[in-house]
Amino acid sequence: MNLRVFILCLAVSTLLVAGGGVGGCKDRASQSGATPPAPAPVAQAHAEGDTPKLAQPSARVSALLNSEQCVATTITEAGANHTVRMPLAVISGMERYDLRLAPEPALPPLNEPFTLRVTITERGSGKPVPAGESVALGVDAWMPEHLHGLTARPSILREGEGVYVVANLLLHMEGKWQMYFDITNGPLTERAQIDMAIQ
Amino acid sequence: MTPPPTPSPTPPPHNSHSTLPRLLSVLLAGTLTAVSLAQSNTPDELHRVALSEGELARTLRASPVPAVAADPTNRHADDPAAAHFGRWLFFDTRLSSSGGISCSTCHDPAFGFSDEKEVAIGEGVGTFNSPHIWGAGHSRWLFWDGRSETLWNQALGPIENTVEMGSARTAIVQVIARDDDLRAAYDRVFGPFPFSLEEAGALPARATPITGDPQSMSLMLWDMIEASVRESINEVFVNIGKAIAAFERTINPPVAPFDIYVQGIRERDQAKIDALSFSAQRGLKLFMGEARCHFCHSGPLFTDGEFHNTRVPPLDPDTSPHEGRHGALPKLAADGFGAASRWSDDPDGPRAAITEGLLATQELWGQFKTPSLRQVATTAPYMHQGQFPTLRRVVEHYSTFEGALPPGHHAIPDPLLEPLGLSAAQIDDLIAFLRSLEGEVGEELTGPPERPYSAKSLLDQ
């Protein structure tokens, strides 16, 4: 997928999901486990030259989306005849949570079940979202070009504090998928969303 | 489709064909279509129709057909003795109420494991076309609407369906009890057959819990049988399904010209690439590219194994379109022989988990399973009710959608389904490609073995 298009899609979709709120990707430091720093200054983001030209997202969105982790990762494997392009980290729509995504196997298969390990931390403190009856994760996916979603609901198990194992994810068709992560904590549900492509 | 951007250089030398026929074929094909006869605009300088990066990746994904994956829900799935017994049962007409219908009546090896009929005709007239069963061991879902999720579970359905084989599980117990060879085969695979001849003879001949009618005589007779005996009857019945499934897992598509062609690409072997005519290669390019067939007919079985509404009208225009996949989900949930049932050998495994996670969404209405296109040229007529008699008619459907169900009528069709507007030459090319998916069938699949058990299996005992 064209990088610019991807960034644009993500900007639009996160705005929609958050109902006008702000969402985006996190930076590389937080992916490696360090405490996430504050969003990059707007000026610096623009200096990197990756600001989408077709849409005019707010400066803050631009800053988030231009942080390094906003770029979807292309996952490949020697001998495999398909690739997957997806971000391995995302920020929820209202910026309360950081999510790190680890597919197992590392290259998600086409039309075969796979597992996604989702680690959720509070964006401000970096602490894992505490386990408890009031915290839950929901996962769903949709193919916007085909107007259909998953054929089966994945099973979701909490492995530890803030760590969820999403099993039996089945992307049965090549193309673009949107994947939704709904984090419910008490009365509030907040969504994080990624665009991914399997081809 | 566009011609190569630059004139093609001289074809590279190759070792197994003379140059003249090749030149002639190049000239002819180039004259006819003026399309991508890219002798060498590919890095490997091979003489073939050029494929884009995506088309090539999809092509490589589609071959070879892998070995059938393990089925932990059936512990006998890969037992050769079970497959041998299952092969016998597959062709045994005694499993039907009239004694005249077997699995092979509708899944006839002579017709690509289908039956040349629009809808199946067994003890009665069915609703759907008999699907071919090439590669059935790879299927995530069975039947056109996917109302079964394991091969052994699927094999049991037709035996007791009144319009298919019309039998009952007690009758199956009796058939085995009365035939020493069947008993010997059963004992070899599953352990001692749980009924003596006398015990089996005392059972009501037509008793089964499978009926939609609570007043059914077969249900009343079933309820009168002692619970522990019912358990043994079910055990035999399930094992019969598992043996038939073990045989069906061996009905794996043979190597086809398309597979030889893919080998040729991988090995840079021009002679193997030549297994596909240029017409078939152009058809392949369309299939994997502009014609969008690959979205659903993906992977080595040429199916995603899932369900789609492709706007095919019902065979009888006076009937409403069938609900398809939408109607299958309650049946899956209620199936006593499901992947999560106690009759499964892996009730907590991934097969059971996916079945339990099914989503009953509105778009399921009118959807049917994408059929595998392996051996497709031998399996006419096509579609879930055999609506289309030829491959040409199928391709024309996707080209024009003339006479198709209107979008949004009873269903939400995939927006991919816009008319392709193919030329006559492109239709010919697609058909040539579809024909290249047919390989030669081994004799071991074309009929029953001499006996229900093999001599080797007795020696092993």
In angstroms, the CA B273 to CA B96 distance is 47
In angstroms, the CA A15 to CA B425 distance is 47
- Predicted confidence at residue B410, as pLDDT, reads 65
CA atoms lying within 13 Å on the CB side of residue B259: 18
Contacts of B459 (CB under 8 A, 6+ apart): none
HEC readout, chain B: CCCCCCCCCCCCCCCCCCHHHHHHHHHHHHHHHCCCCCCCCCCCCCCCCCCCHHHHHHHHHCCCCCCCCCCCCCCCCCCHHHHHHHHHHHCCHHHCCCCCCCHHHHCEHHHCCECCCCCCECCCECCCCCCCCCCHHHCCCECCCCCECCHHHHHHHHHHCCCCCCCCHHHHHHHHHCCHHHHHHHHHHHCCCCCCHHHHHCCCCCCCCCCCCCCCHHHHHHHHCCHHHHHHHHHHHHHHHHHHHHHHCCCCCCCCHHHHHHHHHHHCCHHHHCCCCHHHHHHHHHHHCCCCHHHCCCCCCCCCCCEECCCCCCCCCCCCCCCEHHHHHHHHHHCCCCCCCCCCCCCCCHHHHHHHCECCCHHHCCEEECCCCCCHHHCCCECCCCCECCHHHHHHHHHHCCCCCCCCCCCCCCCCCCCCCCCHHHHHHHHHHHHCCCCCCCHHHCCCCCCCCCHHHHHHC
Residues B139-161, mean pLDDT to the nearest whole number: 96
Contact B357 A113 (CB under 8 A): no
SS3 A12: helix
In angstroms, the CA B224 to CA B199 distance is 15
Angle between helices B19-33 and B424-435 (to 10 degrees): 140
The pLDDT confidence band at residue B454, using thresholds 50, 70 and 90, is confident
* Shortest CA distance from B414: residue in chain A: A146
Contacts of B157 (CB under 8 A, 6+ apart): B143, B147, B148, B164
In angstroms, the CA B212 to CA B209 distance is 9
Which CATH topology does B80-252+442-459 take? Cytochrome Bc1 Complex; Chain D, domain 2 (1.10.760)
SS3 A76: coil
pLDDT tens track for B5-19: 333 333 333 443 444
Residues B434-459, mean pLDDT to the nearest whole number: 88
* Amino acid code (one letter) for A179: M
**Which of B57, B304, B353 lies at the smallest CB-CB distance from A82?**
B57
pLDDT tens track for A167-183: 999 999 999 999 999 99
Sort B337 into a burial class: Cβ within 10 Å, 0-12 / 13-18 / 19+.
buried
Mean pLDDT of all residues belonging to chain B: 89
Contact B299 A168 (CB under 8 A): no
Chain A residues with CB under 8 Å of a chain B CB are 81-82, 110-111, 113, 145-155, 167-168, 170, 172-175, 199
Q: Quick check: B44 pLDDT over 70?
A: no
CB contacts < 8 A, A to B, total 68
Say yes or no: B58 contacts chain A, CB-CB below 8 A.
yes
pLDDT tens track for A38-70: 333 332 223 333 333 333 434 444 444 444 455
Domain boundaries defined on chain B: 80-252+442-459
Determine the distance in angstroms separating the CA of B307 from the nearest CA of chain A, rounded to an integer: 9
In angstroms, the CA B35 to CA B1 distance is 7
- Predicted confidence at residue A52, as pLDDT, reads 36
Q: Quick check: B334 pLDDT over 60?
A: yes
Q: Quick check: B388 pLDDT over 90?
A: yes
Determine the distance in angstroms separating the CA of A33 from the nearest CA of chain B, rounded to an integer: 31
In angstroms, the CA B368 to CA B135 distance is 17
- Predicted confidence at residue B212, as pLDDT, reads 65
- Predicted confidence at residue B373, as pLDDT, reads 98
- Phi, psi torsion values for B20, nearest 5 degrees: -60, -55
Residues of B in contact with A110 (CB under 8 A): 61, 298-299
Say yes or no: B66 contacts chain A, CB-CB below 8 A.
no
The pLDDT confidence band at residue B441, using thresholds 50, 70 and 90, is very high
C-beta neighbour count of B29 within 10 angstroms:
19
Question: What is the DSSP code (8-state) at residue A69?
Answer: G
In angstroms, the CA B214 to CA A155 distance is 36
Determine the distance in angstroms separating the CA of A128 from the nearest CA of chain B, rounded to an integer: 28
CA atoms lying within 13 Å on the CB side of residue B345: 15
pLDDT tens track for B190-205: 999 999 999 999 999 9
Determine the distance in angstroms separating the CA of A140 from the nearest CA of chain B, rounded to an integer: 11
Whether the CA torsion A74, A79, A80, A82 is positive or negative: it is: positive
Residues B302-312, mean pLDDT to the nearest whole number: 95
Q: What does the angle CA B447 – CA B453 – CA B459 come to, to the nearest 5 degrees?
A: 140
Q: CA A155 from chain center: how many Å? A: 18
Percent of chain B past pLDDT 90, that is, above it, reads 79
Contact A155 B60 (CB under 8 A): no
Structure tokens given for B312: 């095919």
Contact B350 A174 (CB under 8 A): no
Contacts of A78 (CB under 8 A, 6+ apart): none
Contacts of B293 (CB under 8 A, 6+ apart): B286, B287, B398, B430
Determine the distance in angstroms separating the CA of B62 from the nearest CA of chain A, rounded to an integer: 10
- Predicted confidence at residue A123, as pLDDT, reads 87
Structure tokens given for B148: 């079964």
Angle between helices B19-33 and B278-288 (to 10 degrees): 50
- Predicted confidence at residue B123, as pLDDT, reads 96
- CA separation, residue A41 to residues A3, A85, A119, A126, B215 (Å): 21, 27, 26, 20, 76
**Helix and strand counts by DSSP (H, E) for chain A:** 4, 11
* Edge-to-edge strand list for the sheet holding A84-86: A73-75, A84-86, A188-198, A175-185, A135-143, A148-149
Structure tokens given for B156: 């049991």
Residues of B in contact with A78 (CB under 8 A): none
- Predicted confidence at residue A15, as pLDDT, reads 36
**Which of A81, A152, A154 lies at the smallest CB-CB distance from B60?**
A81
In angstroms, the CA A9 to CA A1 distance is 11
In angstroms, the CA A142 to CA A151 distance is 10
CA atoms lying within 13 Å on the CB side of residue B316: 7
Q: Which of B136, B120, B140, B139 is nearest to B128 (CA)?
A: B120
Contact A170 B60 (CB under 8 A): no
Question: What is the DSSP code (8-state) at residue A181?
Answer: E
Q: Quick check: B158 pLDDT over 90?
A: yes
Q: Which residues of chain A have pLDDT under 70?
A: 1-71, 131-133
pLDDT tens track for B243-290: 999 999 999 999 999 999 999 999 999 999 999 999 999 999 999 999
Residues B69-95, mean pLDDT to the nearest whole number: 97
Say yes or no: B416 contacts chain A, CB-CB below 8 A.
yes
In angstroms, the CA B48 to CA B94 distance is 52
Residues B132-160, mean pLDDT to the nearest whole number: 97
* Edge-to-edge strand list for the sheet holding A89-91: A89-91, A97-104, A114-122, A163-169, A155-160
* Shortest CA distance from B298: residue in chain A: A173
Contact B57 A150 (CB under 8 A): no
Q: Quick check: B103 pLDDT over 90?
A: yes
**Which of B294, B299, B354 lies at the smallest CB-CB distance from A170?**
B354
Say yes or no: B60 contacts chain A, CB-CB below 8 A.
yes
